[in-house]
Amino acid sequence: MTVKQTLYEWFAASVAEFPDRVALEVGADRLTYRELHDAAGRTAARLLAAAGGVPRRVGLLAERSVPAYAGYLAVQLLGSTVVPLNPAFPAARNAAIVAAGDLDLVLAEPTDSASTAVDLPVPVVPLTLTPTAADGDGDGVPAPGPAGPDSIAYVLFTSGSTGTPKGVPIRHSNVSAYLSHVVPRYELGPGSRLSQTFDLTFDLSVFDMFAAWGSGATLVVPTRRDLLAPVRWAAEAELTHWFSVPSLVSFARRMRALRPGSLPALRWSLFCGEPLTLQQAEAWAAAAPHSTLENLYGPTELTISCAEFRLPREVAEWPRPANGTVPVGELYPGLAHLVLDAEGRPADDGELVVRGPQRFPGYLDPRNDAGRFLLHDGATGTSVPHSGDTPVTADHWYRTGDRVARQDGLLVHLGRMDQQVKVCGYRIELGEIEALLRERPGVRDAIVVALPDPLGDLYLEAICTGPDPRPEQLLSDLRSRVPEYMVPRDVTVFDELPLNVNGKIDRQTAAAMIAGRRG
């Protein structure tokens, strides 16, 4: 068996073995592995001509289109690093990423939504599969570049606390370790049809692309309109593998589209990116009765996902944590983890820290490493925080900033370390209140936020969605089940919870909206 050390080698192996199988479906377009390989080669030749050689880092400003995927593979073919940019982002945001990433040039799809390309501080190469006069004779497939397992495959930018985007570089070895686990686990291969619900700036998109292309499966890409009716699209597309954020389940439920048995062809259903509630899982399991449902967890820094929990077929056998979410289960084989308390000692409840082959090598700007890594003997010793002024080594543990607890042998995600709040001196788990609200009739989703009053003291506010949430009744119900200090001051009803660009619940925006109403 060929050892696959880079993303392009995962793809190329399928090109060699399954050249005439469909690799990509985008709307009415169908490309076989051979055709997608050739399209990537032509784009790579154009990149070489534009850059005058192999570029080091290439921005990819495109939506999920055939040229976008050819462009992504073209960068991988050359052994360069791809940095996805989102056409929906403000021009200033993309320009800041281009500068922070020190990009050589940007591949930009010439669409109306990509007009921000004119504001970028580097050369812009048109991303199109139609030959142009500038291409000359460079229409062959270049030889693969010199990338190896320690080379950077892609860089994704997350929000930084300083207001500057923070670059997360991921090595080919990180992704290869990941793919070696997930491809066999989800029985991927020819005949498998995988969804692509994520934008290319969201790291979960890498699973869709390369778990498919690394196994001979088909990547099936919805249009924006398709995602307004995701259940209908998934059924009509005859998907075998579904992957999305849990918020999409809530959207489908709100649209009354998630009917029992409505997804009969699905074999696997995967959710990641935010907590999966038990109610969401039950609704999806009923709609996809022949599907195995898994909850995944993992920050970008640990390469797509790093923990998994497979729900039993029988709902009666599901674990039921107090916060009403599906456990994240166990870390992937080969990854080591610790749960540390506030003093850095091993504990049953605390911050999750991880190291192993999926852990990234450190932020693009080493100054961002300060406080995000630590050394620990794994037993009784306390942690030694990393100052950021020395290289990150394999011995360093990455601090996820996520709070977990081990319950009945399974890891349960309890939110961010800063989501545990103190009100009137009492420590409160917001997830516990949210779970109680979601159990009430008429409520579909609920979040609780802590806001400061004029004196700086925190108080709680709840936000609910659903067909008939009744604030006074909800507050009354809570008072009968929790201490008064855990009862929110008020319940506000939204038609839907605000989401960020990756489809996750945007708690910060929700809190700002409530604060604005109270102001």
What are the angstrom distances between the C-alpha of 183 and each of 15, 178, 479? Answer: 17, 9, 48
> CA 170 to CA 150: how far, in whole Å?
9
Q: Which structure tokens are listed for 260? A: 């029992």
- Using DSSP, state whether 235 is helix, strand or coil: helix
> CA 76 to CA 146: how far, in whole Å?
10
In DSSP notation, 69-107 reads HHHHHHHHHTT-EEEEE-TTS-HHHHHHHHHHTT-SEEE
Give the side-chain half-sphere CA count within 13 A for 41.
17
Which residue ranges of the chain lie beneath pLDDT 70?
A: 1-2, 111-118, 131-140, 159-164, 380-382, 418-420, 422, 424-427, 455-456, 519
Tokens 């049809």, residue located = 193
> CA 497 to CA 475: how far, in whole Å?
19
pLDDT of residue 117: 63
User: Structural domains in the chain?
Assistant: 330-416 (2.30.38.10), 424-518 (3.30.300.30)
Element (H, E) at 58: strand 57-61
pLDDT of residue 419: 66
pLDDT of residue 352: 97
The values of phi and psi at residue 101, to 5°, are: -85, -5
Tokens 């307004």, residue located = 228
pLDDT of residue 161: 45
pLDDT of residue 363: 94
Tokens 């010793």, residue located = 381
Residues 424, 483: contact at Cβ < 8 Å?
A: no
pLDDT of residue 454: 74
Residues 23, 32: contact at Cβ < 8 Å?
A: yes
The values of phi and psi at residue 301, to 5°, are: -65, -15
Burial 331-342 (b: 16+ CB within 10 A, else e): bbeebebbbbee
> CA 146 to CA 126: how far, in whole Å?
25
What are the angstrom distances between the C-alpha of 390 and each of 164, 170, 371, 374, 394? Answer: 22, 19, 12, 12, 13
pLDDT of residue 78: 97
Of 247, 230, 269, 298, give the one whose Cα is nearest residue 447.
247
> CA 186 to CA 192: how far, in whole Å?
10
Residue 325 DSSP one-character state: B
319 burial via Cβ count (<10 Å: 0-12, 13-18, 19+): middle
> CA 491 to CA 500: how far, in whole Å?
22
